[in-house]
Amino acid sequence: MTADLRTTYMGMELATPLVAAASPLTGTIGGLLALEEAGASAVVLQSLFEEQIEHQEASVNSILDSFTDSFPEARNFFPGLDDYNTGPESYLGLIDAAKSRLQIPVIASLNGVSRGGWTRYAKQIEEAGADALELNIYFVAADARTTAADVESRYVELVRDVAAGISIPLAVKIGPYFSSLGNVARRLADAGAQGLVLFNRFLYPDISLNRMKVVPTLHLSSSEESLMSLRWIAILSGQVPVSFAASSGLQSANDVLKLLLAGADVTMMASALLRRGPGHLKQVIAGVTSWLDEHEYVSVKEMKGSLSQAASPDPSAFERANYMRSIVDFTVASPDPRHFYARRDPIPWD
Amino acid sequence: MNGFVTVDGNEAAARVAHRLSEVIAIYPITPSTAMGEMSDAWSAAGQQNLWGDVPQVIEMQSEGGAAGALHGALTAGAMCTTFTASQGLLLMLPNMFKIAGELTPTVFHVAARTVATHALSIFGDHSDVMAVRSSGFAMLSSASVQEAQDLALIAHRATLEAGLPFLHFFDGFRTSHEVNKIVPLTDEVLRAMIPDSLVARHRSRALSPDRPTLRGSAQNPDVFFQGREASNLGYAAVPGVVSAAMDRFAELTGRRYRIFEYSGHPEADRVVVLMGSGAGAAQEAVEALNAKGERTGLLKVRLFRPFDMAALVEALPRSVKRIAVLDRTKEPGASGEPLFQDVVVALAGRQGAPSVIGGRYGLASKEFTPAMAAAVFAELGADSPRREFTVGIEDDVTHLSLDVDPNFSTEPADVVRAVFYGLGSDGTVGATRNTVKIIGERTGLFAQGYFVLDSKKSGSMTVSHLRFGPRPIGSTYLVQRAGFVGCHQFGFLEKVDVLERAADGATFLLNSPYAATEVWSRIPVEVQRAIMEKHLRFHVIDATRVARDAGLPGRVNTILQACFFALAGVLPQDDAIAAIKGAIQHTYAKRGQAVIDRNFAAVDLALAEMHEVTVPKVVTGELHIRRTVPAAAPDFVQRVTAEMIAGRGDLLPVSAMPAGGAYPVGTSQWERRDIAVELPQWDPSICIDCAKCTLVCPHAAIRMKVYSPDRLAAAPAGFQSKEWKSKEQPGMVMTIQVAPDDCNGCGTCADYCPAHSKSVAKHRSLDMTAANGNREQMRASWEFFKSLPEFDRTQVKVGTIKGSQMLQPLFEFSGACAGCGETPYLKLLTQMFGDRIMVANATGCSSIYGGNLPTTPWTANADGRGPAWANSLFEDNAEFGLGMRLALDSQAATARRLLAEMEPDLGADLVAAMLGADQSSETGIAEQRKRVVDLKARLAASTAPQAPRLAELADHLVRKSVWIVGGDGWAYDIGYGGLDHVLASGRNVKVLVLDTEVYSNTGGQASKATPRAAIAKFAAAGKRTAKKDLGLIASSYGNVYVAQIAMGADNAQAVKAFAEAEAHDGPSLIIAYSTCIAHGIEMSTGMSHMKEAVDSGYWPLYRFDPARGKAGEHPMVVDSKAPSIPLGEFAAKEGRYSLLARSKPELAQRLMTLAQSDVDERWHLYQQLSGVERHAPDDTVAEKDEAGGGSTVAEEELP
């Protein structure tokens, strides 16, 4: 007998818990079709970046305005084109195409900066036919005068504004860097989030020694990164009444199974699919199925959350700071300490 | 919409022409360019003509080409049109004779413009259309924007009916660029005017192999004459045909025109006859004079050819005693100007005919006002009127000019008049144009806008003249008494008299960084006085700050527009704000919501931030409108140039002007434009003496001098210097100095400076800093810097970066765009060889920033030597330069012959030294110059008959070179035939092509240098074909030195190419990559951006040197490395590519793939060519024999 892989995410019935996370693969209709073919139960489209739209609009405007009406011999220097596609139109077009070509749910993703922008684009995304919306909130509080409370309120208000403006399910994807993640999660749920996606992965600055310049980097994730999601989904899934999506670091069937056991409703993959191609999903699904069969689970629903903090025989294990176990493990393994510096997640080293 | 449209004359005419054409062949030329651009844009957008087809618009290589293509299309039966002006019309002339001779219907729409004579002018008069009046085209003149539309249609109708071509013209700028509210023509009217039967008749005459005929035969004395006379009946019918078309038009639209139209007193004793936009001003004068009881009238000429003499006489009132005919053209030496002659002939021999006098007015858009028209009537009323006169200028030489009463004004009280002073980049013109449209299209008022733009390409001032009133506005002259003056740039107050046009009690709105309570003492005393004396209401707003806050830095347009509406009260405030927002929505719709939101925010902030200033009763402070030029400037600059700079050029009398148009050089240094917001600040502590900043500066505003440290004793406080690290010039110090009043603040130097601080990465040896910080100190330093001696040319390696930069640039402070990519090459050229070059400059950007008055950048050194510069035309520049070479060679050959003949008088040593001098180095040239001094002294003492002649020609014994300079429009397109011929001549000329890959000067139209996948005007969907490889074509001759360079990518290669090109004993061609505002890049990064052009293989660097071939080496050397980045990476940073990628991603991708193939293929080809052995035979020997030996100095002196 083969286990039932179905799961529910923000009220959406999905065939499996394997969702394709936002990545370049979900930015083209070809990529989306391949993901569906490989077994993704839903897709999160590549993010619409409000900041990028504004930047594009401003730069097109600047190119077209520069030197206009400055000289008697030329009113301007570029031919007028029909459309500069600076707005969300191409993104909305992708939603439209995805909806007409795909059978699985299509979750749009929005990365905004301003309250006006968030709500406007969320509305347009809903109107374009997306089944759900994932808000990808990423705010670097670079000004040392900004308080944690300021940042949290900003998140909450944004979610409240967007949730009030749309009727499709709303998920919020956040990073882990809150003093009290659980409290933030609750407040986001209260503000209208129906799902939490843990966690964001960020673009980090790097310094190029050759060019003596600051350059952006984004490394593909690895399995260890999924452990932070594992911890927090295990802790929060019993406390906050929303759907949970595990994101960041999931590479294999094993990673997926662990997160499901911790309490995730769906697991989202990007790096592994970018590395190995959409077909990798088939292997993951096969691995999940065979593990469930081997362990005599009849369905994902049965096993989901069975090792969450609430369900775990050792709930304090999720809260324990790493050193207790780590010292033992690492004495044996003699790990290279640089390994930890290379990781992006903050390690609670002391 | 209210049944009107608010458009300019070009659009009015083009809307008709496009709908009535199938083939439109065009070429850009000011001021007609917009008609072609609009037609192209409409066709690109699929707009159909009257018959449901999209007209084919094709850009040709010249107007000659456009006329030829049109002639062919007409011959094959298409409905055709074109748009042109000035020299462009002249280039069409040969085909115009043919088209008319073959009785072919077509309409050429001309925005009439001055033909270049003693100088080029882009402005309007009738010298171009008058120059083609013998072509056989019928000529129909429009005097207003409404007429430009209406008569365009009448011309298209009449041409079909008469079976003869029509030239429909209206005044360049005054009508072509005036925005006015007009009644548009519907398709129904067009259809009613252009019946299918007439179109069918045209088609039936088409050449077709189905019913072949032959055209263009060659005829002999037996029949040509009769054949020419065979068309007489057709011409005789034209006035009737046009009159009938006008009648039909009146039936359809209610607007009635006549071929000669009289208005004024029915029993006038004096009548002015004229043609074109001057009619508007003359009409107002007639009405004002008649209101005072005079009996005056105006006869407008609409159909000038064929000239219907009987109709003219018929149109005049019988009462007229005296007529003044005004011509907007000059025919030197004629018995009178063309219209005058026609009127005289029409009246000749008639009983009791009135007497006729003739005058010239309005050349090159010179203002023609009602006061001037009144002066003409006054002259007609004099006891003995002058037979020939001018009006609008002061002629103190031949005393032909009429006196004009400065107080004569016809501006009515119920017309709102406003003037706005803005900066080219601040959006003032766009916003005021929108204001005209808003009022024209949303209210019952009529509206007019006219915009005066400065030809300087950076920091230029714009003045917008707006009128709104209850009647159609026909005032075809600048606003003289404005009820509203907006000054959008605070800095203008010190430079120009912005209140000159303010009427008593007017409103004055100033964009001021100072609050209403503080501003008074911050404005010049003269401005304060004008405010008090004219009883102005004075408001301020810090629009610059508001714009910044709204996220639109520098764009103060919509903010000040909102303030104007609030103060002028033309519309209720809420309506006005809604209308402005509507206009914003319309203008920026395609650019996205963020842009619209920012502009909305700016408008919303505006009114709250505007405050009225309580005008004190006394002047305060010490600030004055500043002196235009320093007291040290030469006499001519003080008397003439300074007046032009100050905007008083109109007042200069004829005697102030050099007849023939030869002007002194080196005038840009006196203008001190003071336009930089930021200036480079030098940190000598980290400077590495590389001189790259001075090399790449487009404005020669940052300089380097190397000098003895003892000079520093006299330096002013704050003057900076550092040790000069060089084995060649030990013990010296150097200074990098900025000319603070001449720098444009483009930032190119700072962007390109390679010297970074070790401890703070962003700090370089040159940083851009706020200009106001230490401008005074910088001025003092600059003055001292100028007093430091120039380095001895014989002591530097000219062909190196540092060496070239130790030398004085003789091209400085041009009016080029800030960050111009062309000018650094010209500056380098003058540093390397400027004291001995003649420059032939093609028309285009380089002739405008190089030769546009009031001040010009080409200058001379302390010895008085420097580049001698001239512009002939656009199309003939290579030939022009070759002519210079021939003249130099011929005079040098004569000098050498005389020198040899005079050997007994002058001494064998001197003669031998001079004839055999090696002038391949600076030292050699310096020595030869000394010998010339010696020679002249000996000649002065000589009694030999040849002595005076040789003294005249002695300077020709010193080597001189000819540089032929122009852009890609010239070299690749219009001048290519000539350039090819000149290169093929083998003569010793140097050609520098400043390749911006578009027609930059006229607004970025595609040329054959435009690369595939880039957008340009006439290539809105991306250029489909690859760039022409001019260098490869030239190198195929074998004896032409060819280099492709990009200064910002490889400085040393560029300098080397100049040195080799100059040294090559034969034709040389340098193709220089020139970044341009038409590329859509951040101009401060232009030079560093060139590196990516080269790294991507987009612009390979190479040198093809025939000398290497002769030495047994491979002549072609590719200097750049194999492409290391994809073309797309380079292209993504340029608007010309990225806009297409945004607009049509798939198409852009397809074209980019092809463009990448172009790059790959060319690289592959060049790699192969660099392995090709080639040895062009030495043909200079044969040439010398033919030329009688020693035809050029250079040939013999350079091995």
Q: How far is A95 from chain B (nearest CA, A)?
A: 18
3-state secondary structure B642-671: HHHHCCCHHHCCHHHCCCCCCCCCCCHHHC
CB nearest to A84's CB, from B424, B1019, B1142 = B1142
Q: Is A63 in contact with B588 (Cβ distance < 8 A)?
A: no
User: Tokens 């989901």 appear where?
Assistant: A304
DSSP 8-state code for residue B114: P
- Touching check for A205 and chain B: CB below 8 Å? no
Nearest to B307 by CA among B161, B93, B130, B71: B130
Written as six digits, the tokens of A192 are 């209208």
E-state strands within chain A? 7-9, 12-14, 18-20, 42-44, 48-49, 106-111, 132-136, 170-174, 195-198, 204-208, 213-217, 243-246, 266-269
Least confident of B676-690, B764-778, B799-813: B764-778
Amino acid at B446: F
Catalytic residue among B22, B37, B63, B394: B63
Q: Provide, as residue numbers in chain B, all residues whose Cβ is less than 8 Å from the Cβ of A68.
A: 427, 430
Q: Report pLDDT for B1179.
A: 64
3-state secondary structure B221-249: CCCHHHHHHCCHHHHHHHHHHHHHHHHHH
- In angstroms, the CA B1124 to CA B1121 distance is 8
CB nearest to B430's CB, from A69, A79, A82 = A69
Q: Provide, as residue numbers in chain A, all residues whose Cβ is less than 8 Å from the Cβ of B1077.
A: 66-67, 77
Strand partners, B468: B416, B447
Q: If you average pLDDT over residues A2-6, what whole number do you get?
A: 91
DSSP 8-state code for residue B638: I
Q: Report pLDDT for A1.
A: 57
Q: If you average pLDDT over residues B544-559, what whole number do you get?
A: 90
- In angstroms, the CA B1009 to CA B1044 distance is 13
Antiparallel, parallel or unpaired: β A213-217 and B1102-1104: unpaired
Angle between helices B593-609 and A50-65 (to 10 degrees): 70
Cα Rg, chain A, nearest whole Å:
22
Least confident of B975-989, B1123-1137, B1172-1186: B1172-1186
| CATH class entry, domain A7-300 | alpha beta
DSSP 3-state of A350: coil
Q: Which residues contact B531 (CB under 8 A, 6 or more apart)?
A: B499, B508, B538, B615
- In angstroms, the CA A32 to CA A103 distance is 11
Q: Report pLDDT for A114.
A: 77
Q: Provide, as residue numbers in chain A, all residues whose Cβ is less than 8 Å from the Cβ of B427.
A: 65, 68-69
Nearest to A129 by CA among A163, A102, A159, A164: A102
Q: Enumerate residues 442 to 471 of chain B having a beta carbon within 8 A of any beta carbon in chain A.
A: 451, 453-455, 457, 460, 462
Q: Where are the alpha helices (DSSP H) in B962-1003?
A: 968, 976-984
- Touching check for B1136 and chain A: CB below 8 Å? yes
Quickly state the pLDDT bin for A55 (edges 50, 70, 90): confident
Written as six digits, the tokens of B528 are 């304060």
- Touching check for B796 and chain A: CB below 8 Å? no
Q: What is the DSSP track for A321-341?
A: -THHHHHHHHHHH---THHHH
Instruction: State chain B's mean pLDDT as an integer.
Output: 95
What are the residue boundaries of the structural domains of chain A, listed by start?
7-300
Q: If you average pLDDT over residues B71-96, what whole number do you get?
A: 98
pLDDT digits (tens, 9 = 90+) for B385-436: 999 999 999 999 999 999 999 999 999 999 999 999 999 888 999 999 999 9
pLDDT digits (tens, 9 = 90+) for B130-169: 999 999 999 999 999 999 999 999 999 999 999 999 999 9
- Touching check for B1022 and chain A: CB below 8 Å? no
Q: Report pLDDT for A340.
A: 37
Written as six digits, the tokens of B1003 are 């607004």
b/e for B461-497, b at 16 or more Cβ within 10 A? bbbbbbbbbeebbbbbbbbbebbbbbbbbbebbebbb
Q: Report pLDDT for B1185.
A: 45
Q: Enumerate residues 28 to 47 of chain B having a beta carbon within 8 A of any beta carbon in chain A.
A: 30-31, 33-34, 37, 40-41, 44-45
User: What percentage of chain B reaches a pLDDT higher than 70?
Assistant: 98
Strand partners, B179: B8, B449
Among this protein's residues, is B703 annotated catalytic?
Answer: no
Nearest to B1042 by CA among B1073, B1075, B1008, B1067: B1067
Among this protein's residues, is B988 annotated catalytic?
Answer: no
Q: If you average pLDDT over residues B113-128, what whole number do you get?
A: 97
Q: Report pLDDT for A331.
A: 38
Q: If you average pLDDT over residues A282-287, what whole number do you get?
A: 96
Catalytic residue among B15, B19, B113, B360: B113
Q: Report pLDDT for A350.
A: 29
B585 Rama class: left (phi>0) / alpha (psi -120 to 50) / beta: alpha
pLDDT at A333 over 50: no
Q: If you average pLDDT over residues A94-105, what whole number do you get?
A: 97
pLDDT digits (tens, 9 = 90+) for B303-329: 999 999 999 999 999 999 999 999 999
Among this protein's residues, is B30 annotated catalytic?
Answer: yes
ipTM for the complex shown: 0.91
CB nearest to A60's CB, from B817, B1016, B1142 = B1142
Q: Provide, as residue numbers in chain A, all residues whose Cβ is less than 8 Å from the Cβ of B852.
A: none
Q: How far is B635 from chain A (nearest CA, A)?
A: 30
pLDDT at B1195 over 80: no
- Touching check for B184 and chain A: CB below 8 Å? no
DSSP 8-state code for residue A143: S
pLDDT at B1176 over 80: no
pLDDT digits (tens, 9 = 90+) for B340-363: 999 999 999 999 999 999 999 999
Nearest to B580 by CA among B558, B548, B596: B558
Cβ atoms of B964 and B1035 within 8 Å: the answer is no
Amino acid at A174: I
Q: Is A81 in contact with B424 (Cβ distance < 8 A)?
A: no
User: Tokens 């500066």 appear where?
Assistant: B697
Q: If you average pLDDT over residues A29-33, what whole number do you get?
A: 96
Q: Which residues contact B237 (CB under 8 A, 6 or more apart)?
A: B162
- In angstroms, the CA B302 to CA B168 distance is 10
pLDDT at B284 over 50: yes
User: Tokens 């009619």 appear where?
Assistant: B279
- In angstroms, the CA B151 to CA A64 distance is 34
DSSP 3-state of A245: strand
Q: Report pLDDT for A321.
A: 59
Written as six digits, the tokens of B313 are 């006489």
- In angstroms, the CA A337 to CA A342 distance is 9
pLDDT digits (tens, 9 = 90+) for B84-106: 999 999 999 999 999 999 999 99
pLDDT at B533 over 50: yes
Written as six digits, the tokens of B1018 are 């006439």
Q: Enumerate residues 39 to 68 of chain A having a beta carbon within 8 A of any beta carbon in chain B.
A: 53-54, 56-58, 60-61, 63-68
pLDDT digits (tens, 9 = 90+) for B560-605: 999 999 999 888 989 999 999 999 998 888 888 888 988 999 999 9
DSSP 3-state of B449: strand
How many residue pairs bridge chain A and chain B with CB atoms within 8 Å of each other? 141
Q: Is A84 in contact with B590 (Cβ distance < 8 A)?
A: yes
Q: Is B30 in contact with A73 (Cβ distance < 8 A)?
A: yes
Nearest to B869 by CA among B841, B843, B891: B841
pLDDT digits (tens, 9 = 90+) for B1050-1103: 999 999 999 999 999 999 999 999 999 999 999 999 999 999 999 999 999 999
Q: Report pLDDT for A347.
A: 32
| CA–CA–CA angle A168, A170, A176 (5° rounding) | 170
Q: Report pLDDT for A77.
A: 93
Quickly state the pLDDT bin for B1194 (edges 50, 70, 90): very low
Task: Give all strands of the β-sheet with B388-391 in edge-to-edge order.
Answer: B260-264, B296-301, B270-274, B322-327, B355-361, B388-391
CA-CA-CA-CA torsion for B471, B472, B473, B476, nearest 10 degrees? -140
- Touching check for B555 and chain A: CB below 8 Å? yes
- In angstroms, the CA A303 to CA A260 distance is 7
- In angstroms, the CA B951 to CA B934 distance is 11
Q: Provide, as residue numbers in chain B, all residues whose Cβ is less than 8 Å from the Cβ of A76.
A: 1003-1004
Q: How far is B424 from chain A (nearest CA, A)?
A: 4
Q: Which residue of A has its CA nearest to B1082?
A: A63
Q: Report pLDDT for B18.
A: 98
Q: Provide, as residue numbers in chain B, all residues whose Cβ is less than 8 Å from the Cβ of A57.
A: 591-595
Strand partners, B111: B170
Q: Provide, as residue numbers in chain B, all residues whose Cβ is less than 8 Å from the Cβ of A54.
A: 592, 594
- Touching check for B425 and chain A: CB below 8 Å? yes
Q: Report pLDDT for B772.
A: 80
Q: Helices H, strands E: what count in chain A?
A: 13, 13
Cβ atoms of B260 and B308 within 8 Å: the answer is yes
Q: What is the DSSP track for A91-138?
A: HHHHHHHHHHH-SS-EEEEEE-SSHHHHHHHHHHHHHTT-SEEEEE--
pLDDT digits (tens, 9 = 90+) for B169-180: 999 999 999 999
Q: What are phi and psi of B882, to 5 degrees?
A: -60, -40
Q: If you average pLDDT over residues B1003-1016, what whole number do you get?
A: 97
